[in-house]
Amino acid sequence: MFLFTFHFPCPEQLRLPAPPRWIPSSRRGGGSGGAGGSGAARCRCRCRCQCRYRFRCVPAARSAGRAMGPGPGLAAALLALLLPVLASARGPGAAACEVSPSGRFDCGPERLLSRAGCEARGCCYSPGPGPRSGPGPPWCFFPRGYRSYRAENLTATESGFSARLRRQAAAFLPAAVDELRLELALETPARLRFTLRDAARPRYEVPLATPRVHGRASSTLYGLQVSQEPFGLVVCRQSSGRVLLNTTVAPLIFTDQFLQISTSLPSHFISGLGERLTPLFLDTAWTRVTLWNRDMAPAPHVNLYGSHPFYLVMEDDGSAHGVFLLNSNAMDVLLQPSPALTWRTTGGILDFYIFLGPDPKSVVRQYLDVVGFPFMPPYWGLGFHLCRWGYSSTDITRQVVANMTAARFPLDVQWNDLDYADAKRDFTFNKKSFGDYPEMVRDFHSLGLRYIMIVDAGISSSGPPGTYKPYDEGLRRGVFIRNATGQPLVGKVWPGPTVFPDFTNPETHEWWHDMVKDFHDRVPFDGMWLDMNEPSNFVEGSQDGCPNNNLEHPPYVPGVFGGRLQAGTICASSQQYLSSHYNLHSLYGLSEAVASHSALLRVRGKRPFIISRSTFAGHGRYAGHWTGDVGSDWQQLYYSIPEVLLFNLFGVPLVGADICGFLGDTSEELCVRWTQLGAFYPFMRNHNDHGTRPQEPFAFSPPAQAAMRNALRLRYSLLPFLYTLFHRAHSAGQTVARPLFLEFPTDPNTWAVDRQLLWGGGLLVTPVLEAGQTKVSGYFPAGTWYSLAGDSTIHSKGQWILLPAPLDTINVHVRAGHILPLQEPAFSTAQSRGKGMALLAALTPDGFARGELFWDDGDSWETFERGDYTELLFLASNDAVLSQLLRASAHLDGVLLEAVTVLGVTSPPRRVLANGAIIRDFAYRSDTQVLRVPVSLPMWEQFVISWS
């Protein structure tokens, strides 16, 4: 029964307590979409909010934006919310069960129900043609108006509103929470937060630092309604009245270990909810996405290494909004074709952020305002990385580096997998095969290279006391996760019996720092590769099994691979400093990344460089990610693009897949195409499994090597542009690798494009993703696009174009209106950073382009925050390219601008000047309309290059 609705605010605000303008029932329209149906009625009052039920809109006062204290104004405003609306509260009649199959919400989430069992819950039963347990409409589903909670005592607060929710009917899952506390916080004009907590006792909440907001936004992009019974929220976009969130479509369920809330969706174009092997946009035809971090080689339809409970929806007019559930428990997210979405989580609270955008770029930035902007990687971290499980000695590792140099391939970072470790134990090295390990790393440094080694999460526990310091010290300091008896839980990973550090314990951070420092004092490594940190476990739960309790066997188990929470990991009931592993499991990789980031910063005094397999929301503040044990096949090559794009939306821009694949033998053609695409991963590393075909660039035929060398040199020439993109990500919450829809949201043709990617807004990459192809089709949004080489121009109306793509070519196009800073490539960034720079200016048809360069020493901590950097703005017109020095430092001293290329110069120049001096050896091609100007100008000074 709907007894009140509340809307704050509406496009045309009225001053409360002025009475609302009612529309008689006979004029209120259909609104017959049903529970989750696609039909949508407009609330016909001056606040134009769309809804799926016959809500009565109560316009909020202009003064409602101010914190409401006690007084007659507030009393009148809240009394105006108590509006009687008739609704049936009885069991499901025939009319209540008339719900379209696409809009049915499952009444038996934990098990299949018979007709009798279904109707005993007060639900509707309608057998369908498909299997009961497969994807498709549920046979047992909620009727309209199913009773759950009733909202009472709506009260204005400093930040928004609060209410009490009382359960009105028996729950069908154990330990139902009878009374909830609702908090609605109008945090910013584009961000709404609402939480549902147990009103009687505290529950676990994710220990993620989020913004603390005092007061409420005085005006908002969103409107809000609260339905009293059954309780529900409706959030609509003020400008259009479009409903973005409508939780009245299905009942709220809140028990100790099962929390469920559903919402309608305004469109089928929903992206996010990782980590999952998926196209860029999810399928809303009864798709289940499970979030519970798992050591699992990427495959469709299973939970993988990370959990990111955030989604972004594209709306019909190109607007976008996002939703983030701050919850780390095992969960399912179910999508259905009405369209609608259901969150099912196994613990914690319901803590939602809604981001109004209104464009997708703004949604991502608003999400990152909550979880944190990405860390700034060191410049060398953007170079080429090389690794293999199977470099079994320092001699072999040294030879790999020598082979790369001899074959004239760039290389910045050499890695080792577990081969280096003594008995595969962290913070050790094999004194036989890696006897000169410290000297090898120092020798790499003398060549201008960096070095990174793998660090697994499990700590070996099988050695005699006094023989392995990380275990002995950790045991003494109490830093390991404990089992039900209070003893360290023992699992099994690569070294054999292992224990697992509890990174939620502050003492563990100190112990971890000490272990990192001790090892760094012996082996001066430059970064850390965090693996097996879901955490992975080769036995289920522990070597002693797991207790038989409700944490190991909850009433509802999401669709985790293996069917049990402890499958492939440690016991859910094991205890950590902050809570049970049941609550904290998916935070393990993030908490290890936080500890490692802090340890590296303290030990090295420079920017930490960390790549981690396991991730959670906010991971990008501390580390990057590689996409795990991908197979060496063409399908995985394709899937790497949406994976990279999604992690950029999640705020983890430093991401890439293992180039040429990790599992299985690659082929020469596949490795060439993967290297060409990998040159445009933000994080570029070639890595493969032991026992498989060698896939270092020098291991292939001369033509293949030439193609790979060209791809690597192209990347190195673009590093100043890439580094500037990372600065914008770190300082402004932007993406680095970018899906097309982020730049072109009003072009629906871009929304599902996930076989191409952008760097920033100006560089479009169209790779070949299939075997035997020498042509590739790419979508070019409306505008002018120049090939990066300047030999062709596309004037697109928004169309697919077939491009030539021989094996030695990857198609890269520059968008008109952009200026890219380039640098002469070298064999490492240590060499390239001192070489000459160039500018590539791509003019729009009306003669404009813009670009920027961020430059610092590439390694020091918080150079931007301390103001120790140089920033240049580049502008171009029909007759000039110039620079403006926005901030100066000494870091560009000695670097010269040696060439300027201008694309789209329509008339042949007769004279070219550089800072007023005549340039006689410029070149212009009328067929391609490209002007090339050789110069020698200090990058640290402003310049003007003009032509007439």
Residues carrying an active site annotation: 531, 534
d(CA 180, CA 814): 54
Q: What are residue 418's phi and psi, to 5 degrees?
A: -65, -10
Q: What are residue 716's phi and psi, to 5 degrees?
A: -65, -35
Gyration radius from the chain CA atoms: 29
Structure-token match 């470099």, residue found: 391
d(CA 266, CA 244): 6
Cβ neighbours of residue 885 closer than 8 Å, sequence gap 6 or more: 870, 871, 872, 940, 941, 942
Please tell me whether residue 169 adopts helix, strand or coil conformation: coil
* Beta pairing class for 491-493 and 459-460: unpaired
Asked if 591 and 325 touch (Cβ cutoff 8 Å), the reply is: no
Reading the block at residue 477, the tokens are 């300091």
d(CA 304, CA 614): 9
d(CA 184, CA 525): 48
- 535 HSE (CA, 13 A, CB side): 36
d(CA 755, CA 769): 8
CA distances from 150 to 146, 179, 230, 507, 877 (A): 11, 9, 6, 44, 63
Please choose, from the candidates 311, 313, 307, 371, the residue with its C-alpha nearest in 3D space to the C-alpha of residue 345.
307
Taking the CA atoms of 170, 174, 175 and 176 in sequence, report the sign of the dihedral they define.
Answer: negative
Please give the full DSSP string across 658-710, using - where no structure is assigned: EET-SBS---HHHHHHHHHHHTTSSSEEE---TTSPP-SGGGS-HHHHHHHHH
Q: What are residue 488's phi and psi, to 5 degrees?
A: -55, 130
∠ at Cα 845 (840, 849), nearest 5°? Answer: 35
Please choose, from the candidates 504, 515, 524, the residue with its C-alpha nearest in 3D space to the C-alpha of residue 444.
524
- 732 HSE (CA, 13 A, CB side): 11
Q: Is the peptide bond before 535 cis (omega within 30 degrees of 0)?
A: yes
d(CA 566, CA 419): 28
Asked if 530 and 551 touch (Cβ cutoff 8 Å), the reply is: no
CA distances from 400 to 388, 693, 782, 888, 909 (A): 10, 15, 46, 40, 49
∠ at Cα 903 (902, 908), nearest 5°? Answer: 80
CA distances from 276 to 87, 226, 282 (A): 41, 34, 10
Structure-token match 């983030």, residue found: 324
Instruction: Measure the CA dihedral 898/901/905/910, to 10°.
Output: 30
Asked if 31 and 41 touch (Cβ cutoff 8 Å), the reply is: yes
Asked if 493 and 563 touch (Cβ cutoff 8 Å), the reply is: no
Please give the full DSSP string across 97-142, using - where no structure is assigned: T---GGG--BS-SSS---HHHHHHTT-EE---SS-SSSSS--SEEP
For residue 856, what is the enclosing H or E element? none
Cβ neighbours of residue 717 closer than 8 Å, sequence gap 6 or more: 822, 823, 824, 825
Cβ neighbours of residue 543 closer than 8 Å, sequence gap 6 or more: 490, 491, 492, 497
CB atoms within 10 A of CB 921: 8
